[in-house]
Chain A
Amino acid sequence: MATQVLTIENTKTGDAAQAVREHPLIVRLCHWVNAIALFIMIGSGLQIFRAFPSFGPKLPEKDLIDLPRAFALGGWLGGALQWHLTFAWIYIGTGLIYLGYQLFSGNYRQILFVPRDIPGIWPMVRHYFFFGPKPPSREAYNPLQKQAYTSVIGLGLLSVMSGFVVWKPVQFSWLGWIFGGFHWARWWHFAVMVAFVAFVLGHLVMVALHGWNNFMSMLTGWKEEPDYPVE
């Protein structure tokens, strides 16, 4: 897919700036609907977990985590299940549309972490966490970002799969076997949520730190003054 690039001319000064089209509308729609759905899934999920804050008899039989009410959505178990089982389908729907589009359009190459990205990981970590120099950008996403965005799609798949086991341990008994049984599927479902929270926090910090153009590109599709070479 050829990258769309715009040269924006300033008619007064004669200066020119570049803008590159990064995100098709369908990706932007899926991103924002999914972000809202994920927020609701986590809130209602925490309320559901409050009804039995444990993972089953094989794991400690006491309240593992006393979750503050403020994080929970739905008011009571029945209400939370309504939210969870409504937004689950919105979450799955946007996930499938997104994945389908990425695969068929080839747009997935933008974020798919591949073996040749591995050497680029350490320089980025050094830059982000240990004040190292900023490695030159070669494409829209650096290796660390690709790793994060590829992993989060894996998390999405795991959340849905473990969710189906917790919801329907009989019909999805084969899937339950993969997760190590009903109790471990509950554990996985919870662990994936924790990983999602960690991802979202990191994602928000990065956007806040140096992402105004990135943020606008997820809204309008266009990134002004890309910091990587475009043809």
Chain B
Amino acid sequence: MITRTDRRAFRKMSRRELLKLAPVAALGAFAIPALRTPLLQAGLATSDWISAKLFRAGHLATTFTDAELTPPDKFPINGYDVEDPEVDFAAWSLTVGGAVQKPGDYKLPQIQALPKITQNTRHVCVEGWDVIGHFGGARLSDFLKSVGADLSAQFLTVECADDYYETLDMATALHPQTLLCYEMYDQPLTREHGAPLRLSIPTKVGYKQAKYLTDMKVTNVVQKFGYWEDQGYSEFYGL
């Protein structure tokens, strides 16, 4: 197909074609500081929305043999503030509230009375490193059922002895590998690893697996999402 034109008409058409690329300039919005933050927040929120859609309630994280375990002394200790918030174990209890039928203070033996699960799973840090640990504890889903939690609520929030705080989506809270963890490597949790009780969630990145738990709430309303999330990290960060 050959058509004829003259130089002026060709220049005009070329300019018109060039202008059709104007939509590309919309990305320039990311260069404007006032727009950058809301745009990146929207981008991260989109990413989290896709993350939640990709999560499969019945899909289990890979489990490993004992030979593949990272030795306990090589398991990194990542506290955000202090490694030992000096929890008084004798006085400790988990205060449960929100949309539950049996709110109150739960002592460790009450949690240990639930069926015990042990699993060798991968712990992945947002920084990129990972280790394989041996974790023991009660299924969070068993505990939530035992306290009569409203399982249709959106969130589970936890607070910690070191002022750390976190929020979990209910789907992940009910995942069969999500543990209220009180043992690592068949020993009671050490203080650096979050004694007496922490979360172990093989389907979530490390910063979601809060240590030194003191409070738990089932809720649909979240004001502060999590210590790291409130500084700009992903809220969902499922693996």
Contacts and interface: CB of A to CB of B under 8 A. Distances in A.
A11 B9 CA distance: 11
Contacts of A19: 10
Contacts of B14: 216, 220, 222
A4 B17 CA distance: 15
Contact of A85 (B6, B24, B61, B234): B234
Contacts of A88: 47
13 contacts: A6-B10, A7-B4, A9-B5, A10-B7, A51-B127, A54-B128, A57-B131, A81-B126, A81-B233, A86-B40, A170-B238, A219-B21, A222-B10
Nearest to A51: B127
Contacts of B44: 81-82, 85-86
A186 interface: yes
Interface string A62-89: 0000000000000001110111011111
Interface stretch (B51-59, B87-95, B149-157): B51-59
Interface of B: 1-7, 10, 13-15, 17-18, 20-21, 23-24, 27, 30, 39-44, 46-47, 50-51, 54-56, 59, 61-62, 70, 122, 124-131, 202-203, 228, 231-234, 238-239
A88 B125 CA distance: 20
A-B CB proximity, top 3 nearest: A86-B43, A52-B128, A51-B127
Contacts of A40: 30
B2 A7 contact: yes
A226 interface: no
A28 B17 CA distance: 10
Given A170-B238, A219-B21, A2 B1 contact: yes
B239 A168 contact: yes
A83 B47 CA distance: 11
A173 interface: yes
Contacts of B15: 220
B179 to A, nearest CB: 15
Interface of A: 2-11, 19, 25, 28-29, 32-33, 36, 40, 48-49, 51-52, 54, 56-57, 77-79, 81-83, 85-90, 166, 168-171, 173, 182-183, 186, 216, 219-222
Contacts of B2: 5-7
B80 to A, nearest CB: 13
A7 B59 CA distance: 61
Nearest to A231: B2
- Find the residue from B2, B125, B238 having the highest chain A CB count within 10 A: B2
Nearest to B132: A57
- Find the residue from A8, A29, A33, A36 having the highest chain B CB count within 10 A: A8
Given A6-B4, A86-B42, A170-B59, 14 more contacts: A5-B1, A7-B5, A33-B24, A36-B24, A51-B127, A52-B129, A82-B40, A83-B40, A85-B47, A88-B47, A169-B239, A170-B62, A171-B239, A219-B17
Contacts of B228: 78
Contacts of B125: 52
Contacts of A220: 14-15, 17-18
B67 to A, nearest CB: 14
Nearest to B20: A25
A185 B131 CA distance: 16
Given A85-B43, A221-B17, A170 B239 contact: yes
A151 B28 CA distance: 29
Contacts of A51: 126-128
Given A29-B24, A87-B43, A89-B46, A56 B129 contact: yes
